Amino acid sequence: TKCLLKDIDVVNGAGKVDKMRLLNILMQLRKCCNHPYLFDGAEPGPPYTTDEHIVYNCGKMVILDKLLPKLKSQGSRVLIFSQMTRMLDILEDYCLWRRYGYCRLDGQTPHEERTLSINEYNRPGSDKFLFMLSTRAGGLGINLATADVVILFDSDWNPQVDLQAMDRAHRIGQTKAVRVFRLITENTVEERIVERAEVKLRLDTVVIQQGRLVDAQAKLGKEEMLGMIRHGADHIFASKDSEITDEDIDAILEKGERKTEELKNKLESLGEGSLRNFTLDTPQESVYKFEGQDYREKQKSGGLNWIEPPKRERKANYAVDAYFREALRVSEPKAPKAPRPPKQPNIQDFQFFPPRLFELLDKEIYYYRKTIGYKVPKNPDLGADASRIQREEQAKIDDSEPLSEDELAEKEKLLTEGFTTGRGETLTSSSKRTRSTAAMTSRALRERSRERRPRR
């Protein structure tokens, strides 16, 4: 899904359709079909472990894990071909985990090691059950007739390359019937790749082997690539969970044989002209043709079927207050301030009143709160001490007494001992003097400029 969403503008036909970009999307989709661990960051870790997650995170590996024990119990030996050497790395980890004896050959294998691996696999009584090969490096010039099963993990664009890979087991010395298994992920681009390869192979049989030259285009066009990318996109976006089936291997093989036979019969019934224009999406007699004009092509140029991306999941919030606070970005309501007596002097720290004055003012505040029946709320920001502090503050209010006459007289006396005048008056008078000085300076400058101005 992420691969398609990354280029959703191209998939929906809204962006610029560049051929290299389409080929890149096709390659990313083929990697998705082979194994998700071909993408960096998909494998869980660190620490990275060789465990069963290699199997159950990939549909092809699930089938392979069911198929190989069955083949080994039948006494067969297997060749596995893949287009990607990184896929061979994953298969190598799988063989080590399942403890299958194996050999490996790809384009980076030295010549000496290549010869030793082939000889070791073909040696009578060899314990090597698997031989993993890259399709390009291991598809030519090798005799592996001791194997009787060929598994094509992924398919090549050119059907002749896959045929050459199958021929590694069809060699002189083969004593068993060779079976070929091709792994294809359903509802993906792989289906279109195999179908196109089968059409090319059938066209080769009809035309080339009759001694006539083929003038059909060998390269993929933009529209054909875009059709391959769109194939199964709706199904992928609609599915939410994994669709790896847990069917019996015999049922899966039977289903695969049935699909192969259906495609084979459909292609055999077509002639040369039909094969050149063959599409598996539409019937041969198009209902879009009217009076010699193909309205299907007109529709392609005008507007394409829109593939709806999956809906973005939102977190459910069932707390109504929290929901509206989050939706409207409203902050938490602040706790109300505790009430104070209406007539208390406004004293500041820089006035340096005696500490005794603050004690008398606090006593006056506590008694005022007692008279109005104020209850101290619990402050959750204080954590574990919130309840204790609440009880202490409430006790001070409940035990408070009014100021006596002597304390009232003492408070009035202490209010005269601080710096009650000077700061505010000094600042005010200073600003007034500054404004008047600036006005006088401005007036003097204007008069001087008039005196120096030349007379006409």
Alpha helix locations (H) across 269-401?
A: 272-276, 295-302, 320-328, 355-371, 386-398
Total residue length of the chain: 456
Alpha-carbon gap, residue 446 to 452, rounded angstroms: 10
More confident residue, 62 or 223: 62
Taking a C-beta distance cutoff of 8 angstroms, is the pair 150, 179 a contact?
Answer: yes
Cα(27)–Cα(34) distance, rounded to whole angstroms?
11
Rounded Cα distance between 175 and 146, Å, is 8
| Burial state string for 234-243 with b = 16 or more CB within 10 A and e = fewer than 16 | eebbeeeeee
Average pLDDT over residues 425-449: 58
| 336-387 confidence digits (pLDDT tens) | 666 666 677 777 777 788 888 888 888 888 888 888 888 888 887 777 888 8
pLDDT-derived band at 208 (thresholds 50, 70, 90) equals: low
Instruction: Say how far apart CA 164 and CA 139 lie, in whole Å.
Output: 6
**Predicted local confidence at residue 220, as pLDDT:** 60
C-alpha distances in Å from residue 276, one per residue of 206, 228, 229, 408: 11, 17, 21, 110
* Alpha helices for 277-349 (secondary structure H): 295-302, 320-328
Residues whose CB is less than 8 angstroms from the CB of residue 274 and which lie 6 or more positions away in sequence, other chains included: 284
Q: 15 and 304 in contact (C-beta within 8 Å)? A: no
Q: Specify the pLDDT at position 396.
A: 87
Q: Which fold has domain 333-414?
A: N-(1-d-carboxylethyl)-l-norvaline Dehydrogenase; domain 2 (1.10.1040)
pLDDT for 412: 85
The tokens describing 402, both together, are 């009014």
Residue 152: its H or E element: strand 149-152
Q: Centre a 10 Å sphere on the Cβ of residue 309 and count the other Cβ atoms it contains.
A: 14
Q: Give the pLDDT of residue 359.
A: 86
Domain boundaries, the chain: 2-302, 333-414
pLDDT above 70: residue 286: no
Q: Which range has the worst mean pLDDT, 62-71, 101-110, 151-160, 234-243? A: 234-243
For residue 253, with 0-12 CB atoms within 10 Å meaning exposed, 13-18 middle and 19 or more buried, which class applies? middle
pLDDT digits (tens, 9 = 90+) for 224-274: 666 655 555 555 445 545 555 556 777 777 777 787 777 777 766 655 555
Closest CA to 87 of 154, 169, 4, 8: 154
Q: Which CATH number fits domain 2-302: 2.40.50.140, 3.40.140.10, 1.20.120.790, 3.40.50.300?
A: 3.40.50.300
| DSSP structural state of residue 186 | T
At 308-335, the pLDDT tens digits run 666 666 666 555 566 666 666 555 555 5
Q: How confident is the model at residue 212 (pLDDT cuts 50, 70, 90)?
A: very low
| pLDDT of 100 above 70 | yes
